[in-house]
Amino acid sequence: MAPTALLSVSDKQQLVPLAEGLLRHGYRLLSSGGTAAALAAAGMPVTKVADHTGAPEILGGRVKTLHPRIHGGILARRADPSHSADLQAQGIDLIDVVVVNLYPFRQVVADPAVSWETAVETIDIGGPAMVRAAAKNHADVAVLTDPGQYEAFLAALDDGRVDADLRRQLALAAFRHTADYDAAIATWLAGRIEASADAAAGDGTAAATGTAAAAPLSLKFPARQSLRYGENPHQSAIWYGEAAAGWGAAEQLQGKELSYNNLIDLEAALATVREFGYGPVPDGASPLQPAAVVIKHTNPCGVATGASTAAALLRALDADRVSAFGGIVALNGVVDGAAAEHLAGLFLECVVAPAFSDEARQRLAAKPNLRLLALPAVAIGRAQGRQLRSVLGGVLVQELDDQPIEPDSWQVVSRRQPSEQELVDLRFAWQVVRHVRSNAIVVVAGAQTLGIGAGQTNRVGSAQLALAAAGERSRGAVLASDGFFPFDDTVKLAASHGIAAVIHPGGSVRDADSIAACDALGLAMLVTGRRHFLH
Lowest-confidence segment of 21-30, 191-200, 419-428 by average pLDDT: 191-200
Q: Is 136 marked active-site?
A: yes
For residues 392-422, one letter each, b for 16 or more C-beta atoms within 10 angstroms of the residue's C-beta and e for the rest, the string is eeeeeeeeeeeeeeeeeebeebbebebeeeb
Q: Which top CATH class is 4-187?
A: alpha beta
Tell me how crowded residue 331 is: count the other CB atoms within 10 A of its CB.
Answer: 26
Element (H, E) at 194: helix 164-201
Q: Please check the confidence at residue 60 and state whether its pLDDT lies above 90.
A: no
Is-contact 185 116, C-beta < 8 A? no
Q: Please check the confidence at residue 208 and state whether its pLDDT lies above 80.
A: no
Lowest-confidence segment of 238-252, 283-297, 312-326 by average pLDDT: 283-297
The pLDDT of residue 210 is 45
Q: What is the pLDDT of residues 502-523, one digit of tens each?
A: 999 999 999 999 999 999 999 9
The pLDDT of residue 52 is 84
H-assigned helices in 11-95: 15-24, 33-41, 49-53, 68-75, 81-90
Instruction: Look at 87 and 241; give whichever has higher pLDDT.
Output: 241
CATH number of 407-527: 3.40.140.20
The catalytically annotated residue of 136, 220, 256, 492 is 136
Distance of alpha carbon 69 from alpha carbon 73, whole angstroms = 6
Is-contact 361 253, C-beta < 8 A? yes
Distance of alpha carbon 38 from alpha carbon 9, whole angstroms = 10
Is-contact 297 303, C-beta < 8 A? no
CA 136, 140, 144, 148 torsion: positive or negative? positive
Is-contact 304 331, C-beta < 8 A? no
Tell me how crowded residue 242 is: count the other CB atoms within 10 A of its CB.
Answer: 21
Q: Is 256 marked active-site?
A: no
Distances (CA, A) of 399 to 204, 280, 384: 11, 25, 9
The pLDDT of residue 324 is 95
The SS3 assignment for 205 reads coil
Distance of alpha carbon 69 from alpha carbon 53, whole angstroms = 6
Query: Taking the CA of residue 193 as centre, how many other CA atoms within 13 Å lie in the half-sphere pointing to its CB?
Result: 14
Pick the CATH number of 246-382 from 3.40.140.20, 3.30.160.20, 3.40.50.720, 3.30.465.10: 3.40.140.20
Distance of alpha carbon 191 from alpha carbon 90, whole angstroms = 45
Contacts of 30 (CB under 8 A, 6+ apart): 4, 5, 6, 7, 46, 47, 49, 52, 95
Tell me how crowded residue 130 is: count the other CB atoms within 10 A of its CB.
Answer: 24
Q: Please check the confidence at residue 221 and state whether its pLDDT lies above 60.
A: yes
Distances (CA, A) of 146 to 220, 242, 442: 17, 16, 50
Side chain identity, residue 112 = P
CA-closest candidate to residue 10, choices 28, 24, 31? 31
Distances (CA, A) of 259 to 256, 263, 266, 439, 482: 9, 6, 10, 27, 30
pLDDT-based confidence at residue 274 (cuts at 50, 70, 90): very high
Instruction: Look at 254 and 282; give whichever has higher pLDDT.
Output: 254
Is-contact 131 137, C-beta < 8 A? no
pLDDT-based confidence at residue 286 (cuts at 50, 70, 90): low
The domain segmentation of the chain, as residue ranges, is 4-187, 246-382, 407-527
CA-closest candidate to residue 181, choices 98, 119, 100, 103? 103
Give the residue-averaged pLDDT of 138-163: 87
Q: Please check the confidence at residue 51 and state whether its pLDDT lies above 70.
A: yes
Q: What is the pLDDT of residues 371-404, one digit of tens each?
A: 999 999 988 888 877 888 999 889 888 888 888 8
pLDDT-based confidence at residue 185 (cuts at 50, 70, 90): confident
pLDDT-based confidence at residue 281 (cuts at 50, 70, 90): low
Q: What is the pLDDT of residues 64-75, one digit of tens each?
A: 778 888 888 898
The pLDDT of residue 212 is 45
* Highest mean predicted confidence (pLDDT) among 25-29, 243-247, 407-411: 407-411
Q: Please check the confidence at residue 451 and state whether its pLDDT lies above 50.
A: yes
pLDDT-based confidence at residue 6 (cuts at 50, 70, 90): very high
The pLDDT of residue 244 is 81
Same topology for domains 4-187 and 407-527, yes or no? Answer: no
Distance of alpha carbon 268 from alpha carbon 433, whole angstroms = 12
Contacts of 113 (CB under 8 A, 6+ apart): none
The pLDDT of residue 108 is 80
Give the residue-averaged pLDDT of 190-206: 63
Distance of alpha carbon 145 from alpha carbon 7, whole angstroms = 10
Give the residue-averaged pLDDT of 38-44: 88
The DSSP call for residue 448 is: B
Q: Please check the confidence at residue 228 and state whether its pLDDT lies above 50.
A: yes
Is-contact 71 103, C-beta < 8 A? no
What is the distance between the terminal CA atoms of the chain, rounded to a whole angstrom? 66
CA angle 26, 27, 29 (to 5 degrees): 140
Three-state SS sequence of 287-334: CCCCEEEEEECCEEEEEEECCCHHHHHHHHHHHCHHHHCCEEEEECCC
Distance of alpha carbon 43 from alpha carbon 16, whole angstroms = 10
**Burial degree of 515 (CB within 10 A; 0-12, 13-18, 19+):** buried
Q: Please check the confidence at residue 201 and state whether its pLDDT lies above 70.
A: no
Give the residue-averaged pLDDT of 142-169: 87
Is pTM beyond 0.85? Reply is no
Is-contact 246 383, C-beta < 8 A? yes
Q: Please check the confidence at residue 285 and state whether its pLDDT lies above 70.
A: no
